Amino acid sequence: MKSRLFFKIFATYLVMMVLVIAVMEFFLTPKIRDTITKGVTERMTGHGRIMALMTMDELLGKIRELAAGAEARITIINAAGKVLADSSWQDQKMDNHLNRSEVQEARLKGQGTAIRYSRTLQQNMLYVAVAVREQDQIRGYVRLARSLEEVSLSIEHLYHSLYLTLFIITIPSLLLAFLFARNIASPVRRLMELTQKMRAGESPPPMMAESEDELGRLTQDINYIIEEQQEKIRVATEEKSKLEAAFDGMVEGVLTLDVDNRIDQFNRGLRKMVGKQRADILGKTPLEAFRSADLQAAYLHFRETGKTVRQEVALGDEKSLILDVNISAIKGYPENEGKIMMVFHDVTRLKQLERMRMDFVANVTHEIRTPLSAIIGYIETLQHGAVQDREQTDRFLQTAHNNALRLNRLVDDLLTLSNIEMGEIKMQFREVAVAEVMEEVLKTVAPQAAAKKITLAADFPEGVPPVLADRDRVFQIFLNILDNAVKFTPEGGAIKITAAQKDAETASVRINDTGIGIPKNDLPRLGERFYRVEKTRSRDSGGTGLGLSIVKHLMAAHGGRAEIDSAPGQGTTVSLFFPVFIPEKETPTADDRSR
C-alpha cells in the first residue's frame, strides 16, 4: 500500500496538469476563437476592398467568380438597399438590406462588420460590407458573408491537434511524477516504520542511507538519534529497575517529583496506601493525584524554604487516611538536580486509637462526673443543715444511693467491655435453648413492663434448633435488649419476641417493640460506647450508654451479629443471629470464639 505522501506528491502533479488544461479551456479557447475570427474578418475585408474598386456592372457580371475566389457568399446591394444580386440565391426576391447593421456601418465609415444569426441560412454568419464609390458617390455595397460554423470547425481541428499533443506529453509526465513521488515517499515511509517500531518498544537496526541528498542526510541523523536514544533508554531502564526494586521493598510510601513538579516514580507501598491505580498517580502533580490541601501546603512550604518538611496530612474524600509525610530534595547526582522525594508513613490507625482513647476518657469522665456531682451536692446540702428534715434527708439519701448504683453499673459495664475485648472473659460454649433463656429474661423484666402496662409476647416454634453459646452471656444479651425495649416503649405498648432458623448454620431471635424509634442517621453509630440518640434518653432512664456496646461485642464473641432496624414513631426491631449447635462439630474453646 502506497503511503499518503506518495499520493500527495503524485496528486499534486496530476492537479497541475488538470489546471493547465482548465486554463487552456477557459482562457486560451476564447482567445484563439477571437484570433481566428479576426483573421477571417480581415481576409474578407481585404477581398471586399478589392471588389469595391470595381464598378457595379463589373461586380454583377463577375459575382460568382468573386465568391469562389473569396470563399464567401457575396451580395450586391445598391445605394437604396435593394439586393441586385446574390451568389447563393438566384431569382429570389430578398428584403431591403439598407437597415442591416453592417450596411449602415459601411455607409458611414466605408466598411462594416456584423455577426448574427441568419434566418435565411439558419446559422450564425459573419458579414463584411464595403461601400462601392464612383466619383465620390456611394453607388452601392458589396457584402461578403461566411458561416461561423467553418470557423468552429477550424478551431476544433486546431484543438484536436493541441489536445493530442498534450495527451502525448501527459503520459511520460505522469510516469516521471510517479517515479519522483515514489523516490521521495519510499524512504520517508521506511523512516516512519522505523519510528513506529521504536514507539512500540522494539529496537530496530539502523536504516541504510540510499542517497547523499537531504533524505540521505536525514536518514543518517535519525540513525544517530536512535542510537543515542536507545543508550539513554538502557541507562534509564537500569536505574529505574534499581529504584523500583528498592521502592517495592519498603513499607512506607515513596514518590519522586521531576523538575516539572510531576510524579515520575512511586512504589507499590504508596499505591496500596492510597488505593489508587498507576495511571491516577504517574505524571500528575501532588495536588492532582491526591487532592489534599494539607499536602499541597506542605509542598509549597518546602519549595519556598528549601528545607526538609515533615507534616501530617489527611487524604480521602472524608479524610479517612492520615499520613506523616517527609518532603526533601534528592541530591548527589547532576541528573537528580531539582528533583524532590516524598516519604509517607500511614499513621491512620494510631490516630484512630488516640482519638478513641481521648473520646473514651472524655465520655467516662463525663459519665462519672454527673452522678458524682449529684452525690456530692446532696451530701453538702445535708452537711449544711438539711439533715434535720427527715423527709428531705431520706429523699436526698435515696437520690445519692441511686447515683452511686449508677456509678457501680457504669464500672461493671466498663469492666465487662474491657474483659471481652481483652479475651479475659471465659465463655463456656455449649448447647443453649434460646426459648428457655428468653423465658428467664421475661420473668426479670416483667415487673418493669407491667408497671408501664406493656404487653410481652414470645413465639418460639418447636423447630428452632439450639444455638452454640454461653448461657449466661446470652441471658445478658437478651436482658440488655429487652431492658432498652421496655425503657423506650411508652405506656400501653407491646414487645414481641420471635425465633426462627435462618439457614442450616444460623438461628435468629427478633425483638420488636412499639417504642419511639430511632432516626436512620443514628443507626450506624449504635453500639459505640456512650453513644445516645438523644443526650438525656439513657440518663433519664438510668442507663450507662454501654448496653448495646456490650451486646455488639458479646455477639461477635459468639461468632454471630446484631442488626437494628428502626424509624421514628414506628418502633425498633433488633435481630440477633447465633450459630446453630451441631453435635458433630468439635466445640470451640472460649479463646477461639473471642478472637
Considering only CA atoms, give the Rg of the chain. 57
pLDDT of residue 594 exceeding 50, the answer is: no
**pLDDT tens sequence across 460-491:** 888 788 888 888 888 888 888 888 888 888 88
Closest CA to 37 of 158, 160, 151: 151
Residue 593 has which C-alpha cell? 470464639
Closest CA to 413 of 486, 479, 499, 328: 479
Write down the pLDDT at residue 87.
83
**pLDDT tens sequence across 255-269:** 888 888 888 888 888
Distance CA 369, CA 246 (A): 54
CB 301 within 8 A of CB 286: no
CB 481 within 8 A of CB 566: no
**pLDDT tens sequence across 404-416:** 776 676 666 666 6
pLDDT of residue 160 exceeding 70, the answer is: yes
Determine the residue type at 122: Q
pLDDT of residue 75 exceeding 70, the answer is: yes
Percent above pLDDT 70 for the chain? 76
**pLDDT tens sequence across 32-63:** 777 778 888 888 888 888 888 888 888 888 88
Distance of CA 502 to the CA centre of its chain: 46
3-class SS at 354? helix
Q: Phi and psi for 579 in degrees, rounded to 5?
A: -75, 140
Residue 304 has which C-alpha cell? 519556598
**pLDDT tens sequence across 85-136:** 888 766 557 788 888 888 888 888 889 999 887 776 677 888 899 998 888 8
Distance CA 315, CA 320 (A): 6
Distances (CA, A) of 451 to 173, 253, 344, 536, 538: 116, 62, 60, 21, 19
Exposure string for 540-575, b = 16+ CB within 10 A, e = fewer? eeebbbbbbbbbbbbbbbbbbebebebeeeebbbbb
DSSP code of 206? P
3-class SS at 316? coil
Distance CA 118, CA 11 (A): 48
CB 80 within 8 A of CB 161: no
* Number of Cα atoms under 13 Å in the Cβ half of residue 436: 8
Write down the pLDDT at residue 542.
47
Question: Which is higher by pLDDT, 530 or 61?
Answer: 61
Distance CA 429, CA 84 (A): 148
Write down the pLDDT at residue 1.
39
Per-residue pLDDT band at 184 (split at 50, 70, 90): low
pTM above 0.85, yes or no: no
Q: Phi and psi for 304 in degrees, rounded to 5?
A: -75, -40
Distance CA 484, CA 349 (A): 33
Write down the pLDDT at residue 521.
62
Distance CA 576, CA 214 (A): 85
Distance CA 273, CA 281 (A): 12
Full 3-state SS string of 232-259 = HHHHHHHHHHHHHHHHHCCCCEEEEECC
* Number of Cα atoms under 13 Å in the Cβ half of residue 256: 16
User: Within a 10 A sphere around the Cβ of 527, how many other Cβ atoms?
Assistant: 17
CB 111 within 8 A of CB 131: yes
Closest CA to 124 of 47, 37, 25, 28: 37
